[in-house]
Structure 1
Amino acid sequence: MAIYDHLTRFGDFDVVSWVPGDPLPDPATSVARIALDWDDEDSWPERFRTFLTLPGVEATPGLVVGWWDGQGNNEPPTAVVEALVTARDRLPALRVLFFGDITAEENEISWIEQGDLSPLLAAYQGLTHLGVRGGNNLSLGQLDLPELQLLILQSGGLPGEVIREVMGARLPALHHLELYFGAVNYGATGSADDLSPLLDGTLFPRLRYLGLKNSEFQDQLAQVLAGAPVLDGLDTLDLSLGTLSDEGAAALLGSERVARLPHLVIRHHFCTPDTVARLEALGPQVDADEAGDPDDDWRFVALGE
């Protein structure tokens, strides 16, 4: 499941690709995507500084940061982070940020070099929506975003330390959490144990959508979640894109909490048809598309390289 298309919407806004010479996107409906293309001569910070000269830029509600490395050198986004931090006073209305809207044609997700985003997140503490793509060398630091409602981390190999940063975060308004763990071969170092602080439901008390996705330990996730109080407040439990099999599904089938869920997503799974039928009869509305062969010894995550 490589990512071949750029975002078209994020944070309830249309995403509009912006290049120098274009007007400011309508801040009532749209956010700008600023990115380089192959062999662009200017740098991402230079392009961004041009954006900041536009009339009305102070009303910008969000930004989508696309590919910052037009020469294909796998450069980390250090200068991008510095440019955004420096511009904090020019963007007082910024609430929505996606960092790394990079497609497979530009750079495979497992090759994206991220970096320390903590200065950026400290500068924009009013964020309500945050998405990040790529896990190499990613750090979020001590997350303290009191208004953040949605957090998405997409990776072919999410470092365990990043998972633990999220589990230690102060995000009292969070209602949508989506983590793509990835594969060991592409840098994933987390485990189901890293999610322990989440389980009793007190860490993020407003959580309604929980997506623990794209992992090689999907069965273990299902087992630790099956009896967890965090399920009681959810509208959707999303365990898609990973290696879920009958072993993990058995724990879900034995859970009264799972039976009370409105929605359960296991898309891209390795369960037998009988197990899927039993899940569909359990109670939640189940999305179980994209089934793999349950007899295949090689089970894989949907998004790795």
Structure 2
Amino acid sequence: MIEHDPRHSYPHDYNDTYAGLPVASAPLPGDAPDRELPDAAAAAWRLEANTDDPGLDDKFEEVFARFLTRMDTARVTALLVGGWENSYEVDSSHVVRLFVENAERFPALRSLFFGAIPSEVAEISWIQQSDVTPLLKAFPALERLDVRGGGMPALQPIRHEALRMLRLESGGLGADVVRAVGECELPALEYLELWLGVEQYGGDAAVADLGAILSGERLPSLRHLGLQNGEIQDEVAAAVSAAPIVARIESLSLSMGVLTDTGAEALLSGQPLTHLRRLDLHHHFLTDSMIERVTDALPGVDVDLSDQEEPEDEWFYTAVSE
């Protein structure tokens, strides 16, 4: 199974490594023309507009053009798209267009994080995304796509032969996007992670919208399923407990959400989970007695039950929302 970068599930900025490579910043406007840069294939390159210094107020298009000039992009395998100017007001469609129009310049690209923007620049639910389907069409050899945003992307059902990992990080993932993921034909996909989020930030997906994913009919290679960060986590757990896809995956994550004893009981009462290598339930609202029951029921499974939460004035919360 494709290896995922080790992290603790909350928004990870991948400042150090991404897709198994050290992260390097794309050439900046103040760089000397002869500044020594890492080999193009030896780093995951972060491209982002510089809006912190008034003297270096580069727009993303300028950063991108400089990267094309300075770098042998034919050998670049991994990219992180950081902030574009006013990413909390302006959507990413112009950035998508840049990549689509220059796709032939990146024949080796295999991993792309679209929206790797730290919270001090824009909180996850402020990031305005757009339709990312053109990226999948323009890069048929892409193996990994991560997308972060609250104004979450549109996604059209598509067949992609090479994609092995798909991660959508959001404080509120729309039902239309969840359904579109299930309607995609992704024969090579091994790792799927969706942050469902909360209704306040657009997370209006219901369990019924997960039906195509849980059937597994279009995901023959899937080995990890993450349905995370949801306020409907108990309902998701109940659906997962009888889902056909669960019998053939190796790891399952229902972490970061409002999982209570009700959801855990559904998991224990459903199909066997003893075949799993790992079950990630961290950030949960289980009682001590239920934690003990889950642990005892799955002695050979690596179960993560860390981050036991307590409701605040009867308010149950996801790990990530705004």
Is the TM-score greater than 0.5?
Answer: yes
**3-state secondary structure, aligned to 1:101:** coil
1:278 paired to 2:293: yes
1:290 paired to 2:307: yes
1:10 paired to 2:18: yes
- 1:107-136 CA distances to partner (integer Å, 9 max, x unpaired)? 011111111222222111211000000031
Q: Select which of 148, 151, 169 maps to 1:136.
A: 151
1:26 paired to 2:26: no
Alpha-carbon offset, residue 72 of structure 1: 6.3
The amino acid of 1:199's aligned partner reads L
Q: Decide whether aligned partners of structure 1 residues 255 and 171 sit closer, same or farther in structure 2, where only a CA change above 3 A counts.
A: same
**3-state secondary structure, aligned to 2:181:** helix
**3-state secondary structure, aligned to 2:221:** coil
Q: Which moved more, 1:285-294 or 1:179-188?
A: 285-294
Number of the residue aligned with 2:58:
42
> Residues of 1 paired with 2:294 and 2:229: CA distance?
20
Alpha-carbon offset, residue 26 of structure 1: 2.5
Unpaired segments ≥5 residues, structure 1: none
Q: Which moved more, 1:23-32 or 1:151-160?
A: 23-32
Number of the residue aligned with 1:176:
191
1:232 paired to 2:247: yes
Q: Decide whether aligned partners of structure 1 residues 108 and 89 sit closer, same or farther in structure 2, where only a CA change above 3 A counts.
A: same
- 1:65-94 CA distances to partner (integer Å, 9 max, x unpaired)? 00011x566211222111111111111111
The amino acid of 1:64's aligned partner reads L
1:139-154 alignment to 2 at 5 Å?
A: 139-154=154-169
Number of the residue aligned with 1:216:
231
> TM-score, normalised on structure 2?
0.89
Aligned length: 304
Q: Decide whether aligned partners of structure 1 residues 137 and 291 sit closer, same or farther in structure 2, where only a CA change above 3 A counts.
A: closer
- 1:182-238 CA distances to partner (integer Å, 9 max, x unpaired)? 111111111111111122332211111111000001000110111222111211110
> Residues of 1 paired with 2:169 and 2:282: CA distance?
16
Number of the residue aligned with 2:3:
none
> Residues of 2 paired with 1:98 and 1:113: CA distance?
15
The amino acid of 1:67's aligned partner reads G
> Residues of 2 paired with 1:158 and 1:232: CA distance?
26
> Residues of 2 paired with 1:180 and 1:25: CA distance?
34
The amino acid of 1:287's aligned partner reads D
Q: What is the aligned-residue RMSD (CA, Å)?
A: 1.9
Number of the residue aligned with 1:164:
179
The amino acid of 1:16's aligned partner reads A
Unpaired segments ≥5 residues, structure 2: 1-8
> TM-score, normalised on structure 1?
0.93
